[in-house]
Structure 1
């Protein structure tokens, strides 16, 4: 899957559904389902300051190398994946978190089916 700004805009449920999640205890990994042979996503929060998007990756799926203009925090919610940041490989499993620095090339690939949360921090430090 090619990663770009449009990837983050795709959601299973539009904005009104996001509002239904506010002020409730939720399990993030239950909010996006696996889909055979593809990557699925669901945006949970989207503001000028940042966004929270959930992804599910079927086995053998991934995101090709790319950069982002802002820092991104990735937490694995289920399964296992490999992450590359500037050519360094990291093995990740449920509960692990990594920060993709702004402007640094990164990619990821499923080792097993996996789910992750992606938090984009859009505002720059002052």
Structure 2
């Protein structure tokens, strides 16, 4: 059994989103991304399918030129290889579910390059 929290030890960075791996299981990884209002993750893509949950706040999620205004409680699933971007419309906490074969470092690199 593993236990994690989306709210405990939540930290924000002034210049870019904060990425933290919360859980790693035999099938996947659960990652928390903490955004301050206005912070972005520039367009990127993942080699595997992902699920994104807006745990708190509001995110503009861009896919193929369309913007989806996601708010607290919303989920979005996206296949691998699809370019997407995120912009925090307010201070937000996002849960990202990754395939086990995907890398948390890849997510951190996207944030560093945004």
Into which bin does the TM-score normalised by the smaller protein fall? 0.7 to 0.9
Q: TM-score, normalised by structure 1?
A: 0.70
Who is 1:86 aligned against? 64
Further displaced range: 44-53 or 69-78: 44-53
Who is 2:75 aligned against? 97
Residue 33 of structure 1 deviates from its aligned partner by 2.4
Instruction: Name stretches of at least 5 consecutive residues in structure 1 with no aligned partner.
Output: 1-18
**Alignment RMSD (CA, Å):** 2.0
Who is 1:63 aligned against? 41
Instruction: Name stretches of at least 5 consecutive residues in structure 2 with no aligned partner.
Output: 102-114
Who is 2:110 aligned against? none
If you compute each CA radius of gyration, which structure gives the higher value, 1 or 2? 1
Q: TM-score, normalised by structure 2?
A: 0.77
For residues 31 and 100 of structure 1, the distance between their equivalents in structure 2, rounded to whole angstroms, comes to 28
TM-superposition CA deviations, 1:27-64 (whole Å, max 9, x none): 42334223333211210123463211001011111110
Alignment check: 8 A CA contact 1:83 1:90 kept: yes
Comparing both chains, which one has the higher relative contact order based on Cα–Cα distances under 8 Å and sequence gaps of 6 or more? 2
Alignment check: 8 A CA contact 1:73 1:98 kept: yes
Within the candidate set 84, 89, 102, 1:111 is matched to: 89
Further displaced range: 37-46 or 71-80: 37-46
Q: Residue 90 of structure 1: SS of its match in structure 2?
A: strand
